[in-house]
Amino acid sequence: MKKQQQSVTSLPQSPTEERHQRMVRYTIAMSIRMLCFILVFIVPGWWMLVCAIGAVVLPYFAVILANVSMNKGGAVVERPGAIIRIEPRPEDRL
């Protein structure tokens, strides 16, 4: 069976890039929450209730979305096949 060659494009996203994307999603969700807080005092009728529910419920979903990893796994990164663990010889242990 032929081994698949590892390529740079099949590697998972770096932790720094993933953290940045999660921070952007969290910031967007919290901005929508602040907009809901402001709209509670502006909109009349049952729309005020919708905005109030959004302001209360959005933090829960924002944290859930911020903690979800978007790495699809990519290809499995394999260690080189030439690396073999070498045990010391019994006479070297003395």
pLDDT of residue 72: 60
Length of the chain: 94
The CB density around residue 58, as the number of other CB atoms within 10 Å, is 20
pLDDT (tens digit, 9 = 90+) per residue, 40-72? 999 998 899 999 999 999 889 888 877 776 656
- In the chain, where the domains are located: 15-67
**Residue that has been written with the tokens 């910031």 in this structure:** 27
- Is the pTM of the predicted complex or chain greater than 0.85? no
Q: Quick one: tokens of 12?
A: 């998972």
Amino acid at position 37, single letter? F
Q: What region does 37 belong to: left with phi over 0, alpha with psi -120 to 50, or beta?
A: alpha
pLDDT (tens digit, 9 = 90+) per residue, 13-33? 778 888 898 889 889 989 999
